């Protein structure tokens, strides 16, 4: 089950310039965004563990994003 609300993702696509957005398009973007977010989170967790911390910090997320 998706964590991101379809309404929010549809709004993101519209804000990017789309006049109309199908539910399928929003669902496809949700799947991709959640997959990428999961990858980033896992990398950030590994970075925090490497730094001997249990707390994931902003710097871990930013470093994980820059690793892409």
Evaluate whether the domain defined by 6-15+22-66 bears CATH number 3.40.50.920: no
Residue 26 · residue 13 · CB < 8 Å: yes
Residue 63 confidence (pLDDT):
98
Q: Which residues have a Cβ under 8 Å from the Cβ of 25 and sit 6 or more positions away? A: 13
Question: Per residue in 3-28, pLDDT tens?
Answer: 999 999 999 999 999 999 999 999 99
Residue 62 confidence (pLDDT):
98
**Token digits of residue 34:** 């959640």
Confidence of residue 54 (pLDDT cuts 50, 70, 90): very high
Average pLDDT over residues 24-52: 98
CB atoms within 10 A of CB 39: 14
**Token digits of residue 51:** 């730094």
The helix/strand/coil state of 19 is coil
Closest residue by Cα to residue 61 from 30, 46, 36, 40: 40
């Amino acid at each position: 089950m998706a964590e991101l609300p379809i309404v929010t993702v549809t709004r993101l696509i519209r804000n990017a310039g789309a006049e109309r957005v199908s539910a399928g398009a929003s669902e496809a973007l949700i799947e991709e965004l959640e997959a990428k977010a999961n990858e980033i989170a896992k990398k950030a967790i590994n970075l925090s563990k490497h730094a001997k911390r249990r707390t994931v910090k902003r710097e871990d997320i930013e470093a994980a994003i820059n690793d892409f």
